[in-house]
Amino acid sequence: MDQKNPVVTVKQGKLRGAVKQCLDGSPYYSFKGIRYGQPPVGELRFKAPLPVKPWEGIRDAIEHGPVCPQFDMIIRKFVEGSEDCLSLNIYTKSLQLSSKIPVMVYIHGGAFMSGSGNTETYGPEYFFQHDVIIVTINYRLEVLGFLCLDTPEVPGNAGMKDQVLALRWIKQNISTFGGDPDNITIFGVSSGAACVTYHMLSPMSQGLFNKAIVQSGVCLSYWSITHNPVEQAFRSANVLGKDINDVDELLQYLRSVPALDLTRLSVRIKTHQKEKRTDLPVYFTPTIEKKFEGQEQFLTEEPIDLILAGKVSNVPLLIGYNSAEGILMVNSHIKKLEILNKNPSYLVPSDVATTVTKEKLNEFGQRIKQFYFGGKDATEDDIQAITDVQTDINFMYQTHRFLQFFQRMAPVFLYKFDYATDLNIVKYMTGVDNVKGACHTDDIFYMFYSEINQKYIESNNELKKAVYQITKFWADFAKTGNPTPTKGSIQWRPYTSANKECLLLNQDMKLLNNLDEERVNFWNKIYADAGKPSIAKSSL
């Protein structure tokens, strides 16, 4: 085999990759931009993806494929990319069929409207310390990936079906890259984590993975699902300057709009509506599909109903959240202080707010104000309280809710990520760095190699140790279904209803019980009083 440009044969044809270096100087094989689906363009825009067609000759897999057209939330710029973005990247240390290396498939976050699986952010080098294969994927974003018209032409969830098609391709071909097709772990952060939980519920994803890691996001969060997708689709046309009230006409129009013009519509819709709620501006997300003959549906029931009915993949689950997720929302919260102080009901999550009376809504708002702010009007000095309320609404409570309903079906390992070092890149980007703990998505920089974090890590042994430990937990879980399979200084025990075991991930590494119990109980009462399925009182 050519040591510089190895060639592998997959079911669809031959691929030429590249040889790269691990941090210790040993080689690994990189195959980037592998197409798994046909270009979803023209009449195929908004539709479920079609598998890539076989090809003749050798295709290069040396550079990343195009990213999906988007407004990149990190660099805050529009990125044209290409609609022909259905590709994946595979990084492995062996190309022997007999290797059977555990496979970790990462689904990137970005509010369903931004991001890619590229190595600028998601380099595999830290995970290579633990002998796993890393796969990252691109899928359609925002309107291109999540438009739903409740019609056979556009039933919704195209972006999720992209991910399913990628997982099917991986299952079919990963042995060629030294991987074990019967030991695949899917993991993700933020909207990527919500995607992982959706795959746990979807009949389309069954049998495509064996374990799941969920970091800061679940399908029960209000921001992860759309309940009025058709209305939203018409609103999109309105924001783009077109007044339409016929579905067929709407589809023809949206197919004609340049892809880049369909990006950042979530933010524009929110601005257009002048909404005062503190909901995250995420509008194009997975949705519940209508059933059409001859089509596979990704999701046909409410996530909470599927979990309660036990219609979920009973795979080992590692799940958690960051200690100060809400730092990311502090600045936008402060801009709305006057409105929120006057109407604290705007802090009630949409899934509750839209189903209760106005009186109940106002009562819930006052309860939130009392619990987090002592009943007083919030000021710019209440950074910790603002961080806590945003952490709990958007991430913490629904994580506890999901795992509590799920844990009777399979082993669950709960964590709270609490590192606060130079690697908390997002926290420092917000300028709100005087709050203790880890901001939303800070954990990414402890797991994936990038030029941004490597400059801190290479000269700091404490950071090297933290990165090694976190990636070891994740890799060991991917290998065995247990993040601490061998006896060592830390024994991470599975979560139980009785003790609510949770590992605090920081320099001290402590296994604690009933973490954030008071805050969980507060939200549990809100959900129970709203008539929503909540964590049973007997388990609290």
Known catalytic residues are 190, 325, 440
DSSP at 86: -
Q: How far apart are CA 205 and CA 198, in angstroms?
A: 9
What is the per-residue burial (b if ≥16 Cβ within 10 Å, else e) of 135-163? bbbbbbbbbbbbbbbbbeebbbbbbbbbb
Residue type, 469: Q
**And the tokens for 508?**
């001290």
For residue 143, give the H/E element and its range. helix 142-146
Q: How far is CA 223 from CA 6, 151, 248, 287, in A?
A: 43, 23, 28, 11
Please, which residues have CB within 8 angstroms of residue 248's CB and are 6 or more apart in sequence? Answer: none
**Cα of 6 vs its chain's centroid, Å:** 32
* Cα 512 to Cα 438: distance, rounded to the nearest angstrom: 18
Q: How many Cα atoms occupy the beta-carbon half-sphere of 107 within 13 Å?
A: 36
Answer left, alpha or beta for residue 2, where phi above 0 means left and psi between -120 and 50 means alpha.
beta
Residues 6+ apart with CB under 8 A from 97: 175, 176, 178
3-state secondary structure of 318: strand
Q: Is there a contact between 328 and 222 (Cβ–Cβ < 8 Å)?
A: no
Secondary structure (DSSP) of 327-352? HHHHHHHHHTHHHHHH-GGGGS-HHH
- In what helix (H) or strand (E) does residue 103 lie, and over which residues does it extend? strand 101-107
Q: Tell me phi and psi for residue 504, to 5 degrees.
A: -85, 110
Query: Could you give the residue ranges of the DSSP H alpha helices within 185-285?
Result: 191-201, 229-239, 247-256, 265-273
129: amino acid identity, one letter: Q
> How far, in Å, CA of 276 to CA of 332, rounded?
11
